[in-house]
Structure 1
Amino acid sequence: MKIVICDDQKYICEEVSLLCKEYFLKREKICEIYCCSSGKEYLECGIEPDILFLDIELGDMTGTEIADMTALGMKETYIIYISNYVDYMQQIIDINVLGFLEKPLTESKINNILDKFFRRKEDLQCIYKSTETNILVKDVICIKAESSYSKIILKNGHSVLVRKGLNQWEKELKKYSFYRIHQSWIVNLRYIIKYNSAKAVIYLPSMEISVSRRKKSDFEEIYANFLRRKR
């Protein structure tokens, strides 16, 4: 994974670089970080980053001009604008703008925006593909066991029956925000509307499902961690 920080203030580049390194080190992830002091330097460096931290007002060109040119590249780059004027920045509408950070920057601001990046990437991962459909993480509310098959229940109200058991799904979805709450159910944590701990019941769109007694304690810990990451 590659990150470019483009800001004409050297201390900002150094600060963002340090905070990003600490974020990835704590999570045992690998990342290459590059710093540029001008729009010209960034555009000529030839790097196509996954994330571009971009000052909205550089000396030679504006951040939005650089973003427009970045969009012409082969790789999808998520842009995080940095400025003293967040109110102005939030008027910018672009599908690849991940967010806006107001100076001064802090560890929590950087951590929150990087968490948002990984959630966005996770949402777009394909977990099932056929000649008729591609199903992404963000499309799935839950998966129900159906003998040797399983039923993928989608947020659009449809469902897809596939020849795969929940044990296999559990292994494949472990790296995403899914949890097997019961022998017959795997749920996407992001679609939980409410959880009743006393009854050990989760509420999803148009359904409610019981959490098994032996899973209850583990589920509550994992769900609490999931909610903390979302903040």
Structure 2
Amino acid sequence: MDINVLLVDDDKNAINLLKSHLSAYSFVTLKGEVHSGKEAMEFIRNEKVDLMFLDIEMNDITGLELAKHIQALQKNIEIIFVTGHAGFALEGYDFHPIDFLLKPIDFFRLEKTMAIVQERFQGAPKADNQNKKIGMRVAGGIKIFNVEDIIYIEKIGRKVSIVTKFGSFESSDTISAIEDMFETYGFYRPHQSFIVPMHNIRSINSDSISRTYTLELTNGTLVPLSRNKVNELKDLLVAEGIVLV
């Protein structure tokens, strides 16, 4: 089921940025964009809307006032507030929004929000990563990756390298932030400097002399595995139905 989305903001540039970000999510159908509270009310009277990205500060009415009207008329519409000032968030919680996003909207932050949106409307995401896309900060902007194309992620000094089937790309996101983002997609952090997709793990290897462990990935790459994570990873692989060879 596609999620029908309406964007409500009197800032055209903010809407264009959000539209660009949302284009990465195949489960979203952008039903329209409006620039005032009056236009928003007219729109939802005539169109089916599941989710609204609602700017809190608009010229004719505040997003909080508009949310009150919307929830009185159509309680099934979920709301994500968008604002340039974090101070509005406390009052906005009275409307039980899915989330608050600060302008300018960061794609990495939006990724977490959209994972919540997908689970709210469609249930927990499936383990299958085919055609799943994710946005990451790289030099010059944001690059959209196919999740299934990522072989592993490595922290080298202060830099993070995303290694894919089509080359390597340097990300400005931290390794911890990336770990949080990719956990939903079946990725695991076996070592402080690496994150790998569990379905790409071919074997767990041990060296009895040095008492060290490595993971062999399906492309032959060897990745270190911390000793304190060996049993945890084995349990996760079994839970995922992955058989090591």
Q: If the length of structure 2 is used for normalisation, what is the TM-score? A: 0.48
Counterpart residue number, 1:5:
7
Deviation at 1:123, TM superposition (A): 5.7
- How many angstroms apart in 1 are the aligned matches of 2:102 and 2:237? 45
- How many angstroms apart in 2 are the aligned matches of 1:66 and 1:79? 11
Contact persistence 1:48–1:77 (CA under 8 A) = no
Counterpart residue number, 2:92:
92
Deviation at 1:33, TM superposition (A): 3.4
Deviation at 1:89, TM superposition (A): 1.8
State the identity %.
21
| Structure 1 residues 113 and 200: alpha-carbon distance in aligned structure 2, compared to 1, 3 A threshold | closer
| Structure 1 residues 214 and 31: alpha-carbon distance in aligned structure 2, compared to 1, 3 A threshold | same
Q: Deviations over 1:167-213 (max 9, x none)?
A: xxxxxxxxxx9x9xxxxxxxxxxxxxxxx853459xxxxxxxx9498
Contact persistence 2:4–2:30 (CA under 8 A) = yes
Contact persistence 2:37–2:60 (CA under 8 A) = yes
**Any idea what SS the aligned residue of 1:2 has?**
strand
- Structure 2 letter corresponding to 1:76: N
Please identify runs of 4+ aligned residues in structure 1 that moved more than 4 A: 210-217
Residue 198 (1) aligns with residue 230 (2): yes
Contact persistence 2:52–2:77 (CA under 8 A) = yes
Q: Deviations over 1:100-145 (max 9, x none)?
A: 1111112112222111112233569xxxxxxxxxxxxxxxxxxxxx
Deviation at 1:88, TM superposition (A): 2.5
Counterpart residue number, 2:118:
118
Deviation at 1:93, TM superposition (A): 2.0
State the number of aligned residues: 139
| Structure 1 residues 212 and 86: alpha-carbon distance in aligned structure 2, compared to 1, 3 A threshold | closer
Counterpart residue number, 2:42:
44
1:57-76 matches, within 5 Å, as 57-74=57-74, 76=76
Deviation at 1:36, TM superposition (A): 0.3
1:163-178 matches, within 5 Å, as none
Q: What RMSD in Å do the two structures reach over aligned CA positions?
A: 3.3
Deviation at 1:9, TM superposition (A): 0.7
1:145-156 matches, within 5 Å, as none
| Structure 1 residues 200 and 50: alpha-carbon distance in aligned structure 2, compared to 1, 3 A threshold | same
| Structure 1 residues 200 and 70: alpha-carbon distance in aligned structure 2, compared to 1, 3 A threshold | same
Q: If the length of structure 1 is used for normalisation, what is the TM-score? A: 0.51
Query: 5+ unaligned residues in a row in structure 2: which ranges?
Result: 125-183, 187-227
